[in-house]
Structure 1
Amino acid sequence: MNETKKRGNANLPALILLAVLLMFWQAAAMGIDAAYILPSPTQILVRLWELRGPLFTAHLPATMSVVAIGLSISIVLGLGLAVLMDISEIAEKALYPLIIASQTIPTTALAPLFVLWFGYGIWSKVLVTVLITFFPITITVFDGFKSVKTEMAELLFTFGASKRQIFFKLKIPAVLPCFFSAIKMAVPMSIIGAAIGEWLGAQSGLGYFSRRMMTQLDGAGVFAPILLLSVVAMFFTELVAILEKRLIHWRND
């Protein structure tokens, strides 16, 4: 009960700021009085309710499928690259520049190529999601490995611990906070990646639906799936934060 109350008090400033911004948005939209340019928050909520059928039964599941597959691949790929660069200096020197370079290419330039190569199916969107999300996981976890104090590793080594034991008993627990920080970044980025892929080429999904509403000059219809994406991203990020607190209990002591 006290924990819930504490979290509520911590979120109070953010809720107040959000309410103020929404009031300004509502006032600005009423002043412009052109819903196709700037719909008000109330108009977006009404439109979201009107479109709840196709959004929740068809397009949201399509987007979540892309997010689930893309994020899963990114976690495996990111962790694999981070571990490989940690155990091999040659791999670090070879892979690190390429990983950085992969983020210098605009995603909007690659997404149409993915559609050209893989068509309008799910895999073109999954590749966009992986391209965006594997980077923070790889770099954050790798930096976590590097932050482990060498003195502690040397101490365990003098006590007879093997490299395998040092890795699992010292490095893995030490890097867990970095891993969860990376996941909390990757979750909203995976949703953004899926939406970008759907916006540029898809037959279903919230990004596709938003683009379709734009062609109809339906401003509130454009914002409705975006609002839904934001709520979903916040929900899953909060789930990751709760899981982090349960698994890394020593961090909260």
Structure 2
Amino acid sequence: MSEQITLYSNVASPYTHGVELALLEAKVNFKKFEVNLKDKPEWYTKVNPVGQVPAITYGGPDVPPDQPSPESVKLRESTILLEFIAERFPEARLLPQDLVLRAKARLFIDIAKTKLLPAWFGCFRKGEPVEAVFVALEQLQELLPPTGFVVGEWSIADAYISGILPRAEIVFENNLNQSGWTEGQGQEIMAVLRGPRFARLTQYTQDLTARPSFKATFDKPAMTDMYKRLFASRAAAQKQ
């Protein structure tokens, strides 16, 4: 099968960002198509029947992204895509050969997916206690070695969380929420996250965002402006 890869993404999505980082770190040639999630093109269901991002087409002829070939394989779900990239391009070493370290990388992703994300969304969408976010972050922090990345070398575990932590910081730093936080509540949360309780996680986040692949794919001022507009539109919709 040919090596054609097209990533269907959305710049606001932390999940697509992680997949893009894995492709870049694997030094894979790929095309990227930005999907407007508020006005998805009808043809996109040929790529992902449920209409979500990220998704990729793999193999088949090299066609324009908006004309996906029936000969290409269509894959979706960020964690599945990360595993696929790691296994398809083993020379990139996005998963370690050691089985214990592989399990550790997968555990890290699982905690982020099943513990951190529900707590984060519950906090800024529903006003649920932020302590659940802190507990999930502590679980992730406990899996980190004293220095470096989750399993030593950068892996798909780091790709997955790289899309999440910087966006969470934007939400907290700018007090963006849908649940009526008091003035400065987000900044108070950030003060805890940058304090001694999360010293190792803070250094880890700095290491993640220092990667050339991350710098090439994350414009914090532009992302902040986008998130402010996104939350403002959601707030306006709630008042209607």
Give the structure-1-normalised TM-score: 0.27
Give the structure-2-normalised TM-score: 0.28
- Which structure shows the bigger proportion of residues in strand conformation? 2
- Which structure shows the bigger proportion of residues in helix conformation? 1
Q: Larger relative contact order (C-alpha < 8 A, sep ≥ 6)? A: 1
